[in-house]
Amino acid sequence: MKNPFARREAEASVRSMNRLPPGQSLTQKFPVLHYGPVPKVNLQTWTFRVFGLVEEEKVWSWDEFNQLPRTKVTMDIHCVTRWSKFDTVWEGISVKTLVDEGIIKLKPEANFVVQHCEYGYTTNTPLDLVLQDNFLLATHFNGQPLTPDHGYPLRGVIGSFADRSEPKTAYFWKGGKWLRGLEFRATDKPGFWENAGYHNEADPWTEQRFSGGSWLSGR
């Protein structure tokens, strides 16, 4: 018989280690939260675009995208709807690596990034957040390709490291599902949920959940 107090005890333990942000609860599940239908994807025609304040615009096919340098990270993820999932393993492409290796060359005035996804969905982040090693363009979760309802074939992922207070993180919706491009900008441009009332910065450690407007389901 399962101990009905086990999760509560586990939460108390990780809170004491400053691993679980305020207002969050641990889950072993991976809840599915998004707005609108799950898109059907044809990898033969799928492309990923890098544009805006870059020296050279990039458009990669699925095969070309998967030839880029790959990495794997283990992170805790925190959803604005108050669940957190620990020790999730993601594999994909690090934007930091692409910039460090000169594959993407940014113009000096680039300060923000807009993630462009299927159906015209967008979400926005400061450039410095995207250039951290806890932000990933992920193709795999826990050793398996993403499932369609979790963003197949590609999604942005932002999380926190269990043993590090830095770098900065954000709630999980700041990694867009069904990702199709990155736009580098000089000025910020709030995305879908940000325009619906969610907080623009979305720091889970200070509970920046929303800034007004309607409370909708998180992505």
Residue 34 in any domain: the answer is: no
Cα dihedral 163→161→107→103 (10° resolution): 100
How high is the mean pLDDT of the chain?
88
Residue 202 included in any domain: yes
Domain of residue 67 covers 47-206
Does residue 42 form part of some domain? no
Any idea what the CATH number is for the domain that residue 166 is in?
A: 3.90.420.10
Number of domains in the chain: 1
pLDDT in tens, 35-60: 678 899 999 999 999 999 999 999 99
Q: CB under 8 Å to 124, separation ≥6 — which residues?
A: 112, 113, 114, 115, 188, 189, 190, 191, 194, 200
Of residues 2 and 17, more confidence is placed in 17
Query: In the predicted model, what is the mean pLDDT of residues 19-26?
Result: 90
Question: Does a structural domain hold residue 198?
Answer: yes
**What does pTM read for this prediction?**
0.88
- The stretch 127-151 carries a mean pLDDT of 95
pLDDT band at 165 (very low <50, low <70, confident <90, very high): low
Q: Is residue 164 in some structural domain?
A: yes
Burial of 205 (0-12, 13-18, 19+ CB in 10 A): middle
In a domain, 189, yes or no: yes
Inside any domain, residue 20: no
Which pLDDT value is given to residue 215?
A: 36
122 is a domain residue:
yes
